[in-house]
Structure 1
Amino acid sequence: MKKYEELVKFIIKNIGGKNNILNVTHCVTRLRFQLKDESKANDEALKNNSGIITVMHSAGQYQVVIGNHVADVYSELVNEIGLKESQEPSQKKMKIKEKALDLISGIFMPSLSLLCACGMIKGLNIIFSFVGLYTQESDLYLLINAIGDCFFYFFPIVIGYNTAKKINMNPYTGMIIGAALCYPTINGVDLNFFGLNLNATYTSTVLPVIITCFLAAPIEKFLNKVLPSVIRSFMTPTIVLLVSVTVGFILIGPIVNAASQGISDALLAVYALSPVLAGILFATLWQVFVIFGVHITFIVLCMMNLSMGIPDPLLGSQVFVAFATSAVVLAIFIRTKNKELRSACIPAFISSIFGITEPALYGITITRPVMFAVSCIGSGISGAISGFLGFRYYQMAGIGLLEIPALLPTTNTGTVLLQVVICMIITFVITFVLAFVLYKENTQPSPSQPSPSIEETSKSYGEISSPIKGEVKPLSAAKDDAFATGALGKGCVIMPEEGKVYSPFDGTVLVMFPTGHAIGLVDDKGCEVLIHVGINTVQLGGKHFFPKVKIGEKVKKGQFLLEFDLEAIKEEGYDTDTIVVVSNSKDYSEVSLSKEGEIVPQDCLLTVKG
């Protein structure tokens, strides 16, 4: 039996069978399915399988998070369902935002691993020359640099192939469009077309070939319908290439290159206003981007910058997020007495060091808000240092430890490498100390204290009052599966009638997301409550949310915590159902809903028993 055959058969069975699969791709850690009917998928069964980290619904895709061996699982999956390279994927109805993310994933993700590999080769070549294995003037340096640089130089060919496949065009036509745009004798030279002087370069670019393929696709479709079959096979590509490449080179390319330059200049201008602040925000939010599967967008922006020869500062500020996450996991491993948790920490720590943070994120930190907050704080500190030192991506590379070569320029390599190592150590140590000090576990009473009676136990912990005015529903009614299944704690859903959130008890603010859409609180007895306003409202980036408190602030029961514009959020197209969960529900024998229907702040919402 093949290594992942059993796991693959289990996945297929629990996503509704082969016939429920419209399309499937994969990224660094996830299988990304488009299913005919997602209701046929058994989320709970998939999540409970030891070979699966978690399940996510994002960007119009059904995502099964596997880990860093996802490519092997994908290969076995493709064989099992009989998917062929030339197979035309079916499509499902998606919103515009979902279509955009799906398109980006389909174009860039298939080649991301090779892109990172070639970036690693370029980075290692710099390191090898720096330590004296050979000089940058040697022929060996030239050869290795060519191996690493060829992918970037001829990137339009790869992107042309991927784009054509994604939009159901002949992929080899897309590849030839990319090759034509890269042809050496017409790049970077003065040309004249019908009196129009033009000097354009398309090697290493991204957008010109994508837009040109979008022009070519309908032409190809039209010609395949109207041309006789006897000449269609060669006349269709002939006409498509002549029209699309000519228009693409003369008209589309210059416009798109100028637009790309404008986008890059705008991002760099924002970064230049305060590199430290930009680094803090980007690195702090990076794990949130990963959770919602939108981090690929920033990778694409980085590719655009690199294709224009501009080192990218945004990805340069998130390199050390993996080390913050691994530090939290190590601290938990040392502090916890839970054998099951300790055993989960070991592989999560190792994978985090090498940049695969999903096992730690979904399996350990996200269900422990304090630890998740600590990992975000540690990441923010690393982002501040990265911004201050001006770290930038000079080439694509691996992730985690293998991402370090991406930060190394061809000159001043030793100084930058030393700064990178120092930043890595500072991030790890500070985050580890914070996690070690703040980690709390449900402990037994000390021998010197009398154990509580059964009656006393059943009466503790107490009551949690409603933080919002609205209509209460069971947690199972939540439109976010991670909450509805209770994976993030037991609680309920409130359909808010006004945009105000109040404290459900006397306690401390543990988490205040930078986007303002979620607050984590803990009371003096250690009960942790997460209040999450809306579904996917993190994508608003803080718009329409107005926090009244900050992390670490002591609050009283009934204190005004957060204001949000209820109607404006609805107009943006987001669901405003608010989730209230006891995030450390496993520490209690029972967390039950006290009432359903209409409720006002200070009414009893949840009853918690020790």
Structure 2
Amino acid sequence: MNPNNTSIEASAEKKETIMNKILGAISGSFAPILGVLAGSGLISALLSILTTLGWLSPESGTYAILSAAGHAIFYFFPVFLGITLAIKLGVNGYVGGAIGAALLEPHYTDLVASKAQDVTFLGIPVILASYSSTVFPILIAVSIYSLLDKLLKKVIYKELQMFINPLISLVVIVPLTILIFGPFGTYVGDAIGMVIEFLSSKSGLLTGAVLGAGWTFLTILGLHWAVIPLAIANLANGGDPIIAMAAAAPFAQIGMGIGVFLKTKNTDLKTVTGSGIIPGALAGTTELITYGVLVRYKQTMVIVALAGAIGGAINGAFGIKATAFALPSFLSIPVFFPMGLYIIGVLTALVVAMVLTLIFGYEGKNKAMPSKMVKEFGLGEVKRETILSPLNGEIIPLSKISDPLFSTETVGKGIAIEPTKGEVVSPVDGMVTMLFPTEHAIGITSENGAEILIYVGVDTINLKGQFFTSKVKQWDTVKKGDLLIRFDLEKIKAAGYDTKTPIVITNTNQYLDIDIVPAKDGTIQAKDELMELIPV
């Protein structure tokens, strides 16, 4: 083996691991507050509608109070992000919040408001700046705080750490943030915003087309978390074009979902798409469509990419911007400006995706799937059944998974296992209905209608199949205990990946209850009883 090639591969693996950790930290810090961000954005949309219709005056007390409710999360964003990022990095969340709060505390904001030119800290000149609604300064500050806290825990007596560590951390990190991290983070955010603005001004059409086509796939890979902070930083400077251009992607998914719903004769598929269209249209959450249809039928990926590119190009060409953070949906339309042109862009994406799906279909190579499954299993109403454990390991609640799609039960209810052996076995008698090309995840439909997704590790899709070997193919019939996937547990951990494995029921809406069978000492063996599914 060429030693140079070995060095290059090791370097690439290290970079990938670092990037994976960065994205994991960002996703883990934004996930807990994503709901309140979206809800606050919808309040801004509601106020926009009420004032446009003349039903509410911007000078009224009602408007002021509702505006406070909608803007609080954004104004105090450094506080909330300081808390969630610190917790994600394994340090004191309240210290992280205090670091963010120091940037908004009146003693400092009064200095900013006074526009004083000779402010110093211990003789060092201070560059005054407003940090409300900012993202990058607190990301940098809390990341450095986490390193300092870990150092302090090594040198400070354990009995003194409760108050000494926060004392030293605040005294060190707050001044450093105001002197260095804050201005640097602000410049980074401004520079990125300027680059996006430059690209949009040179060819908003091309920029929008690329973002509209690629956003769905960035989301599937988890890479969209790297872009969301940029969008929020842009909002602090008057408006963000990223969300507006990317908005075409979820509308394209909704359009594709409507097309599949109208075209399919498969009752189960109608249920999945129908259940996914409503939250997508009203709340901008399209995960049911993404994982229930898009990943399952590859032909829909082409349709969504093409429709998203067209809608994104329209929004990019017209220079449309979001005025508040909101997940793209019909309810959030008023936060985009110019609103009329935005509607043209996203509805174009929706209609194009729907029409293409109706004309060309969605099935592609999976066309034989429904008939085969109906023939072998007689798909219909789900039945009560017990799901066995597909792994040996420790039982972990889904809430402990860093991927928000699983921790918030967006994909479905279930449980996670920290594996102690690199083998996944079938938890039911059924059929392999989905096998990721990277072989790190598999979907099985049981004879009784349960749709089970087993997703080995967090962000392990980035390994591109390395360390995973599938022992079955899509549409294979399997029995309880059959070996499905073998993976190298130690090498995956050595590459820096979390191996916690969610086991979720993706057709959760068809069950009245999903009971987790208590495990002795919190551990479980493959083929032990794991879940009891009780149908509606």
**One fold, TM greater than 0.5?**
yes
Identity of matched residues, % = 27
Distance verdict in 2 for CA 1:281–1:177, change over 3 Å = same
Deviation at 1:365? 3.4
1:302 aligned residue (231, 246, 258): 231
Q: 2:278 — aligned with what? A: 350
2-side partners of 1:262 and 1:210: how far apart? 16
Q: 1:213 — aligned with what? A: 142
Whichever structure has more helix as a proportion of its residues is 2
Deviation at 1:393? 1.6
Secondary structure of residue in 1 paired with 2:56: coil
Secondary structure of residue in 2 paired with 1:434: helix
Q: Bigger shift: 259-268 or 346-355?
A: 346-355
- Measured against aligned partners, the alpha-carbon deviations of 1:105-154 in whole angstroms (never above 9, x if no partner) come to 12221111112222221222122111111222223222221221121111
Distance verdict in 2 for CA 1:216–1:332, change over 3 Å = closer
Structure 1 residue 480 and structure 2 residue 438: aligned? yes
Q: 2:75 — aligned with what? A: 153
Distance verdict in 2 for CA 1:221–1:380, change over 3 Å = closer
Secondary structure of residue in 2 paired with 1:274: helix
Q: 2:329 — aligned with what? A: 400
Distance verdict in 2 for CA 1:141–1:228, change over 3 Å = same
- Measured against aligned partners, the alpha-carbon deviations of 1:332-367 in whole angstroms (never above 9, x if no partner) come to 332333333333332233233232222222222333
Q: Which has the larger radius of gyration?
A: 1
Q: 1:278 — aligned with what? A: 207
Deviation at 1:440? 7.0
Q: 2:58 — aligned with what? A: 136
- Counterparts of residues 189-588 of structure 1 (less than 5 Å): 189-190=115-116, 191-193=119-121, 194=123, 196-228=125-157, 231-307=160-236, 309-354=237-282, 355-408=284-337, 416-439=338-361, 480-481=438-439
Deviation at 1:395? 0.8
Deviation at 1:283? 0.6
- Counterparts of residues 66-105 of structure 1 (less than 5 Å): 95-105=17-27
Question: Which residue identity is paired with 1:297?
Answer: A
Q: 1:494 — aligned with what? A: none
2-side partners of 1:236 and 1:371: how far apart? 53
Deviation at 1:220? 3.4
Count residues in correspondence.
Answer: 371
Contact between 1:135 and 1:141, CA under 8 Å: does it hold in 2? yes
1-side partners of 2:436 and 2:210: how far apart? 29
- Which consecutive residues of structure 1, in runs of 5 or more, have no partner in the other structure? 1-59, 61-92, 409-415, 443-475, 488-535, 540-572, 587-610
Distance verdict in 2 for CA 1:271–1:237, change over 3 Å = same
2-side partners of 1:486 and 1:209: how far apart? 43
- Measured against aligned partners, the alpha-carbon deviations of 1:238-272 in whole angstroms (never above 9, x if no partner) come to 22211211122112211221122122212221222
2-side partners of 1:271 and 1:180: how far apart? 35
Secondary structure of residue in 1 paired with 2:322: coil
1-side partners of 2:322 and 2:362: how far apart? 37
Question: Which residue identity is paired with 1:183?
Answer: E
Contact between 1:280 and 1:383, CA under 8 Å: does it hold in 2? yes
1-side partners of 2:29 and 2:341: how far apart? 35
1-side partners of 2:361 and 2:474: how far apart? 12
TM-score (normalizing by structure 2) = 0.62
Contact between 2:299 and 2:362, CA under 8 Å: does it hold in 1? no
Q: 2:36 — aligned with what? A: 114
Deviation at 1:155? 0.9
2-side partners of 1:430 and 1:114: how far apart? 31
Distance verdict in 2 for CA 1:538–1:281, change over 3 Å = farther
Distance verdict in 2 for CA 1:337–1:197, change over 3 Å = closer
Distance verdict in 2 for CA 1:352–1:234, change over 3 Å = closer
Deviation at 1:94? 8.5
1-side partners of 2:129 and 2:318: how far apart? 34
